A and B are shown apart, each in its own frame.
Chain A
Amino acid sequence: MILEVKNLNKKYKDFQLKNVNLSLPKGMIMGLIGENGAGKTTTIKAILNIINTDSGEIKIFGLDNKKEEKKIKQDIGVVLDDSFLSEYLNPMDINKIMKNFYQNWDEKLYFKYIEEFKLPKNKISKDYSSGMKMKLKIAVALSHHPKLLILDEPTSGLDPVARNEILDIFQDFIQDEEHAILVSSHITSDLEHIADYITFINNGEIVLTKTKDELLDRYGIVKCSEQEFKKINKADYLKYKKNRYEYEILVENKNEFKRKYDIQIIDKPTIEDIMLIYIKGEK
């Protein structure tokens, strides 16, 4: 495992991370999904030892994230949606800064990304578009040859073309079986493209963590009338949502459900569908 989080707990006045468990194997991309305030960024901050945790164990590359913090961080690349270096710095300045922090900082690679992303070298990032700013953050995160990328909303603010470019870079990064990516995103369609695992966090708790294929192939959304719904055993579904004319029911194994009940309309869900029924639905 490249990343292991065990029984992570962190309590704030109005929010709590409860027994968060994560395991990210090498060569994999894990998508962390959940609504705003669900605990995605708090989990990422705990992994990076930015916040003090109440209990739990976090191991990165098999090392304790607190005791071996500096050693571990030499091999992690991070993109945070809302935080970066000052906007009054240009890519040249950033290179001067970063080469002091990372032993493996690769100036050539960094400027190769800067060229590829068409970022003006001498322009301060304040004058960049939001897409360009994100590309700059990604270039910085990739330029010290990290083994693990931790990305918090890396595709937000990017147009579809730029998003595709970035997703391709992430997929290239993972080709080396020694690398892994933990990525949180609201844009669940992006995760459908690249993620191997999906972890869904809601109200500070991990609701599900599955391989993407398992989630998209096994899960189903049953659409039925009220009479049909009443016949369904509670244990056979995860959540349901009552719409104006029908019921939407999230089931974990659509084939088994089909065998048990005579309901024909079972849609293949998207990650977003699953997330919405989990958040808005009832049991």
Chain B
Amino acid sequence: MNGIKGLIVKDLLNLSHYKFSLLIIIVVFIGLGVSSKSSLTFMPIMLMTAIGMIGLSTFSYDEMSKADKYLLTFPTDKKEMVKAKYILIIGMIIIGAIVSIIATYGINYIVYSEIPDIEPILTMVLGGVFGISLVEAIQIPSVYKWGAEKGRIQMFVLIILIGALIGGLVFLITSAGLSIQFDTNQILGFIKNFGTYILIAVILLMYFLSYKLSCKIYMKKEI
């Protein structure tokens, strides 16, 4: 267990170089939320995406210094190394989600003098967590397989593909004369239909499968 702690401390110390960039991102997104009320609908997702995705950059630090080989000379093993990455990355997403909820709630309360309904905020953030988790659950095994650089390219390809897919669907729907409107109530309804607990279970399942796949890839990998 101490090995996992050491690995997480190493990643957190590496990430501490991001603290000013992270602070700027938080300030910019909060500023966006303050500037107009409509921005408040997408601000939490952007904020938590920015915080949540930072965990992935620790792979680049390790790759630059070829740290994997060195770390494996410590009293740890490949399984612990994979586990530590997942704990860190999931932890960063949870922190991102909490910061987003507090920021959204706080802006509504302080700037717009409203006591907001917490449920739509939670729903929005949960949707965001699902989106980021989907990307990361695919991204992490691919980084273990191909490395941080190629893995990052694949992440962009994946995002572009998802964007193109959604864009294509929207185009088809609007071409067919159907109107689409997204508001929190619709998303809320959607999630209510499937159930928040199912969504959480799906997120956990995604990470579990992703972790198992990463372990399998990394155990076989020649370093």
Contact = CB atoms under 8 A, between A and B. Distances in A.
Contact of A84 (B9, B14, B67, B72): B67
B69 A80 contact: yes
A97 B70 contact: no
B72 A48 contact: yes
A260 interface: no
A96 interface: yes
Given A83-B70, A97-B9, A70 B77 contact: yes
Contacts, number: 85
A101 B77 contact: no
A86 B6 contact: no
Nearest to A47: B73
A96 B66 CA distance: 20
B76 A48 contact: no
Contacts of B6: 97-98, 100-101
A73 B75 CA distance: 5
Contacts of B2: 100-101
Q: Is the interface of B mostly helix, strand, loop or mixed?
A: helix
A70 B69 contact: no
Q: How large is the interface on B (under 10, 10 to 19, 20 to 34, 35 or more residues)?
A: 20 to 34
| Centre residue among B2, B72, B223 by max chain A CB count within 10 A | B72
B70 A96 contact: no
Contact of B64 (A87, A93, A97): A87
Contacts of A87: 64-65
Given A83-B65, A86-B65, A101 B75 contact: yes
10 contacts: A48-B72, A78-B73, A80-B69, A80-B73, A82-B69, A84-B67, A85-B71, A93-B13, A96-B13, A97-B9
Given A73-B74, A80-B70, A88-B14, 11 more contacts: A49-B72, A69-B77, A70-B77, A71-B75, A83-B69, A85-B67, A86-B10, A88-B17, A89-B14, A100-B5, A102-B74
